[in-house]
Amino acid sequence: MKKLINAPDDVVKESLLGVAAAHPELRVDHENRLVIRGDSPVNGKVGLVSGGGSGHEPLHGGFVGVGMLDAAVCGEVFTSPSPEPILAATTAVDGGAGVLHIVKNYTGDVLNFEMAAELAADSGAQVEAIVTNDDVAVQDSLYTAGRRGVGVTVIVEKLAGAAAEEGRNLAAVKEVAERVNGNGRTMGMALTSCVVPAAGKPTFDLPEDQMEIGIGIHGEPGRYRRDFAPASDIAEQLLEPVLSDMSFDSGDPVIALCNGMGGTPLIELYLMYGELKKILDGHHVTVARTLVGNYITSLEMAGCSITLVKADDEMIRLWDAPVSTPGLRWGM
Amino acid sequence: MKKLINAPDDVVKESLLGVAAAHPELRVDHENRLVIRGDSPVNGKVGLVSGGGSGHEPLHGGFVGVGMLDAAVCGEVFTSPSPEPILAATTAVDGGAGVLHIVKNYTGDVLNFEMAAELAADSGAQVEAIVTNDDVAVQDSLYTAGRRGVGVTVIVEKLAGAAAEEGRNLAAVKEVAERVNGNGRTMGMALTSCVVPAAGKPTFDLPEDQMEIGIGIHGEPGRYRRDFAPASDIAEQLLEPVLSDMSFDSGDPVIALCNGMGGTPLIELYLMYGELKKILDGHHVTVARTLVGNYITSLEMAGCSITLVKADDEMIRLWDAPVSTPGLRWGM
Amino acid sequence: MADVSLAQVQDWLVRAKDSVTEQRSYLTELDSAIGDADHGSNLTRGFGAVVDKLASQPAASIEALLKASGMTLVSTVGGASGPLYGTMLLRMGKAVGDADTMTATQLGEALRAGLEGVVARGKAEPGDKTMVDALGPAVEAFEKALTSGEGAATAATAAAQAAAAGRDDTEPLVARKGRASYLGERSAGHIDPGSASVTLLLEALAAALADG
Amino acid sequence: MADVSLAQVQDWLVRAKDSVTEQRSYLTELDSAIGDADHGSNLTRGFGAVVDKLASQPAASIEALLKASGMTLVSTVGGASGPLYGTMLLRMGKAVGDADTMTATQLGEALRAGLEGVVARGKAEPGDKTMVDALGPAVEAFEKALTSGEGAATAATAAAQAAAAGRDDTEPLVARKGRASYLGERSAGHIDPGSASVTLLLEALAAALADG
Ligand SMILES: Nc1ncnc2c1ncn2[C@@H]1O[C@H](COP(=O)(O)OP(=O)(O)O)[C@@H](O)[C@H]1O
Ligand SMILES: Nc1ncnc2c1ncn2[C@@H]1O[C@H](COP(=O)(O)OP(=O)(O)O)[C@@H](O)[C@H]1O
Ligand SMILES: [Mg+2]
Ligand SMILES: [Mg+2]
Ligand SMILES: [Mg+2]
Ligand SMILES: [Mg+2]
């Protein structure tokens, strides 16, 4: 394993030192491993807290700032943080209008955020949670822990963040988050495995002529393995399960995220987006807003995912609203 | 070789299809492989053209937009574009105030931009060029093709772009570019090789226990190979040649770019920046502005580079000026 | 038959820490086949913190000891297993109450309460290929041994054996809870990491009681 | 002794294309040792375009043919070698002028002009480990053969041999121009890719003149 790190166990802690050094506009709580908006708590604003295992950067720490998250809780690599720091984040961003937890659907995250919410409620805080679960790779989701939360989380954080910034109340911000999640679907794939620092070697072996379709963001194996194929084929394999799960051809504006898993260069991600767009055009999907890049990653894994959100005019307005975070910034 | 591509020879062409689909605010000239600001030519504004081989994304196409480049010329992967498209870009962005070519110092780029400038001059255009050459890895630069242009190019494009946007004339914009380049130094390293699509295999072999210090951005071998080391050591090895080449402890504000080579995850880049910052603090270098992320890459190469620019108040003001490009955006 | 002492409970947790630390790669290996390759490091970190905690702040009762350990696990393990093992110890402590010894019957009740806590938190059913598939049979075996007149040490040995059998039985199962469930049919053919760590914990318990 | 015809010049470029296409991996291999692994694909693309161009727009004179080919190289090769080889052909065409045959002497002058063009554009000196180290000796050998009374075909064979020798002599050199110069001492021990492609071009010339 070759990585730009010191000791594997210190990766998250030391990476946060860099975040603090690079972003004086943010506050870093090194003890609890939190990235917090500099002006938190914002009086009268709903506080947004997300978090989970590290290794998905820029998600979540890179999405803290005006118009998006108030705090991110950074667990060990691919390991949910414990309730204690989640509680600390909740307290730190509570500006009196309640706090929304944005949780990706993984058992560890759900259990730890649940325990934290119980503790916060005990001390009188008003906490709601939205669990994202957009990964169509998970079939038979009734017989499993349910679909995983992946790419849509970025868009939930952006739109709920904009809604909170507008001063909406907790129920209304939660409603936006649920609307985005309910209308979002994602499918991802990998060309290579990631390497968890503490493990020191690739999580899975993927032969040079194979790819894994339907992966999550933790090096979990995917839905199936298949012979490595050209980008145009891969685009078909990613979009087929998305488009057959939900219809996106209503004419409603669609937000598309062509996301890199970390190790794939941007030139390839744009090429993939070109292939995806061709298919979307053929299916009469009207993409109104697009992001192409590394937004929710799996360390150095090579691969990509496509997320589509069927939006409406209000959601597009919230998308366009100003945001100022290390990972997503416009309008200010 | 596993990449998200179709045929290796179509990578650049097809990637530009994705750029066009994702960025309706830009214009893509598919024949000449140009990415052009949507409102080009801007009347009375100095036009900024950069370009070179592809594979360094977001540089240069991702830096086209208000406050930065007017056009990027996209050559084949790691291969300079020819004079023809450079000339086409020059013509497309010439708003009557002349055009500045921003060229990274590589023989191919220099020769092709030179020929294009001669052709443009023949047809009456006013063209100046700035050749960036910030790579301190190149020793004995008098006996070589000179130092390579690397990380500083990003900062030159940002600051010259802001100066042009303010309406300064060609000589003044060029002066800003030269000031940035003259005060910028970069050193980079690699943990793995990149894979040029047309070659289909790693450009160099780097054993699992070795790293390459002093690399460029084309998979060229570096200054030396050494045993793989912890991030804190690597930070020392990168900064030593930078700080001994130029002094950055004058108290002047410094702009720092901790750049990923493409395949290194963000969590590691932030960790590296933490290590770099510790050393910079120890040397009384006052970092005023920081960028951490993939800005000038070498396909999927794992590794990083550090660029320091000794700035002044005006340069900081130009840095802070609004910019709206796919790869760098703030203030608008 | 001797009661189980506070010192033995503490010894259990120290042995548990030694065991997960020693088996760190084995647990992580299992987790990398059907999970995310961190179960070994999660538990090593968590039980390491538990032992540190007990060393710096000795507990006055079994309840206090198990509660402090449970809270420490919750706050240091993260992942799915943190809240689950944490809840298990918290419920065990509550069941025993404020005492510095407990009878074998009380230990059996505590284990049962721990199992119920894990099920309440994680909502796994038997056969879902989780730690419950080792913990459930272990608690039953413990209770059955007591019914046959055995003491705590022998019952714990039986529980550890039942856990190991439950662990091995997870191999052909298709996971329905936790990360492994995302694999569908592909989760079959691998042992569940949590059932393996439950087995280590019960083997540690048996050893602590045997030597005590 | 027969003059060199327009058809032979065209045949040269077709053979050059075949040769660089066939040796694509070899050239790229050399470039990956001390450059950026694209010399083979650069020239394959460039000479492929030259041949396409000549097929679709037959040239009426040697000057027109070489100019069109030079412009095509400049506009399709990119990289350092595009402007250099392009300039070489442009200067050669200019030297020959508007004719459909040329004497061996004229060809020698054209090659000399081509070399001067490469040097003017790239500013390399002999020993800098560039294409000049093959092209320079080749031009000299060509001129020397003419002085000894040989014809164009024999002179071209001598030039190709001198190029090959120059190519091999680049191996121990430390590069001072182009990408390879960034390697410093580490560029020694490898043949310069441009000197290898120059050799292929001169071998193609010798073959075109021998068969013509
Ligand atoms: N809902 C659940 N109920 C009971 N046990 C579970 C549940 N989900 C997961 N587990 C157990 O947790 C183990 C994984 O723990 P660990 O790897 O530490 O956490 P994570 O899956 O978050 O990485 C699984 O092997 C399984 O035994
Ligand atoms: N300044 C120069 N003068 C002459 N030849 C040069 C010069 N710079 C580079 N070359 C030649 O160009 C060759 C490399 O060509 P190529 O790989 O196509 O371009 P690039 O280096 O831009 O990738 C080198 O092997 C060398 O022979
Ligand atoms: Mg985990
Ligand atoms: Mg090149
Ligand atoms: Mg796990
Ligand atoms: Mg080359």
D135-176 pLDDT tens trace:
999 999 999 999 999 999 999 999 999 999 999 999 999 999
pLDDT greater than 80 at residue B139: no
d(CA B11, CA A248): 29
Residues B209-231, mean pLDDT to the nearest whole number:
92
Cβ of A107 and C76 within 8 Å? no
A-chain residues within 8 Å CB-CB of C175? 144
Closest among D194, D211, D105, D200 to D155, alpha carbons compared:
D105
d(CA D203, CA D160): 5
**Chains A+B touching (3+ CB pairs under 8 Å):** yes
At B105-129, the pLDDT tens digits run 999 999 999 999 989 998 999 999 9
Closest residue in B to D123 (Cα–Cα): B145
pLDDT greater than 60 at residue B84: yes
The pLDDT of residue A87 is: 97
Give Cα separations from C191 to B227, C196, D52 (angstroms): 38, 7, 63
The pLDDT of residue D199 is: 98
User: Which stretch of DSSP H or E encloses residue A18?
Assistant: helix A11-22
pLDDT greater than 80 at residue A140: no
Flag the least confident range among A140-154, A277-291, B208-222, D72-86: A140-154
- Tell me whether strands A71-77 and A34-37 are parallel, antiparallel or unpaired: antiparallel
Q: How far is the CA of D199 from the centre of ligand 4 (A)?
A: 19
Whether C76 lines ligand 1, by a CB cut-off of 6 Å, is: no
Look-up of token digits 């209000």: A314
**Chains D+C touching (3+ CB pairs under 8 Å):** no
At B276-321, the pLDDT tens digits run 999 999 999 999 999 999 999 999 999 999 999 999 999 999 999 9
Atom of ligand 2 lying closest to residue D35 CA: 21
Closest residue in B to D182 (Cα–Cα): B138
Hey, is A172 helix, strand or coil?
helix
Which residue, by CA, sits nearest to atom 7 of ligand 1?
A: C178
Cβ of B112 and D45 within 8 Å? no
Residues A121-129, mean pLDDT to the nearest whole number:
94
Residues C165-175, mean pLDDT to the nearest whole number:
97
Closest residue in C to A219 (Cα–Cα): C36
Task: Give the confidence band of B195 by pLDDT, cuts at 50, 70, 90.
Answer: very high
Residues C87-103, mean pLDDT to the nearest whole number:
95
At A270-311, the pLDDT tens digits run 999 999 999 999 999 999 999 999 999 999 999 999 999 999
The pLDDT of residue A114 is: 94
Whether C122 lines ligand 1, by a CB cut-off of 6 Å, is: yes
The pLDDT of residue D92 is: 97
Whether C35 lines ligand 1, by a CB cut-off of 6 Å, is: yes
Write the single-letter amino acid at B16. Answer: L
Map chain C to HEC letters.
Answer: CCCEEHHHHHHHHHHHHHHHHHCHHHHHHHHHHHCCCCHHHHHHHHHHHHHHHHHHCCCCCHHHHHHHHHHHHHHHHCCCHHHHHHHHHHHHHHHHCCCCEECHHHHHHHHHHHHHHHHHHHCCCCCCCCCHHHHHHHHHHHHHHHHCCCCHHHHHHHHHHHHHHHHHHCCCCCCCCCHHHHHHHHHCCCCCHHHHHHHHHHHHHHHHHHHC
pLDDT greater than 70 at residue D212: no
Q: Are A16 and A62 in contact (CB under 8 A)?
A: no
Among D32, D78, D182, the residue with its CB nearest the CB of B203 is: D32
The pLDDT of residue D167 is: 98
The pLDDT of residue B142 is: 67
Q: What is the ipTM of this complex?
A: 0.88
Q: How far is the CA of A222 from the centre of ligand 4 (A)?
A: 38
Give B192 to chain A, closest Cα distance, Å: 8
Task: Give the confidence band of C191 by pLDDT, cuts at 50, 70, 90.
Answer: very high
The pLDDT of residue C1 is: 54
How many inter-chain contacts (A to C, CB under 8 Å) are there?
Answer: 115
How many inter-chain contacts (A to B, CB under 8 Å) are there?
Answer: 208
At B152-169, the pLDDT tens digits run 999 999 999 999 999 999
Whether C29 lines ligand 1, by a CB cut-off of 6 Å, is: no
Give C158 to chain A, closest Cα distance, Å: 30
The pLDDT of residue D1 is: 54
Write the single-letter amino acid at B118. Answer: E
Taking the Cβ of residue A297 and every Cβ of chain B, the question of whether any pair is shorter than 8 Å is answered with yes
Which ligand is closest in space to the CA of residue C79?
1
Among B82, B138, B203, the residue with its CB nearest the CB of D77 is: B82
Query: Using N-to-C axis directions, what is the helix angle for D104-122 and D152-169, rounded to 10°?
Result: 30
Task: Give the confidence band of B228 by pLDDT, cuts at 50, 70, 90.
Answer: very high
Q: Are D37 and D26 in contact (CB under 8 A)?
A: no
Closest among A297, A59, A304, A290 to A187, alpha carbons compared:
A304
pLDDT greater than 60 at residue B227: yes
Q: How far is the CA of C99 from the centre of ligand 5 (A)?
A: 35
If one compares A143 and B106, the residue with the highest pLDDT of the two is: B106
Atom of ligand 2 lying closest to residue D118 CA: 4
Residues A247-262, mean pLDDT to the nearest whole number:
97
Look-up of token digits 């068969």: D211
How is A115-129 classified by DSSP, letter by letter? HHHHHHHHTT--EEE
State what percent of residues in chain C have pLDDT above 90: 89
Q: What is the dihedral angle through the alpha carbons of B196, B198, B199, B200, rounded to the nearest 10 degrees?
A: 80
The pLDDT of residue C211 is: 72
Residues in chain C, total = 212
Whether D140 lines ligand 2, by a CB cut-off of 6 Å, is: no
Residues A322-332, mean pLDDT to the nearest whole number:
97
Hey, is B102 helix, strand or coil?
strand
Flag the least confident range among B154-168, B191-205, C162-176, D14-28: B191-205
Token code pair at residue A318: 């919230």
Atom of ligand 1 lying closest to residue A218 CA: 23
Radius of gyration of chain D (CA): 16
Query: Using N-to-C axis directions, what is the helix angle for D62-77 and B83-93, rounded to 10°?
Result: 70
Whether B146 lines ligand 2, by a CB cut-off of 6 Å, is: no
The pLDDT of residue C79 is: 83
The pLDDT of residue D96 is: 96
Q: How far is the CA of D145 from the centre of ligand 5 (A)?
A: 77
The pLDDT of residue A188 is: 98
Which residue, by CA, sits nearest to atom 15 of ligand 2?
A: D81
Catalytic residue positions of B?
56, 218
Give the residue, out of C23, C24, C81, C116, with the most ligand 1 atoms within 8 A of its beta carbon, to mutate for a pocket test: C81
Q: How far is CA A229 from the centre of its chain?
A: 27
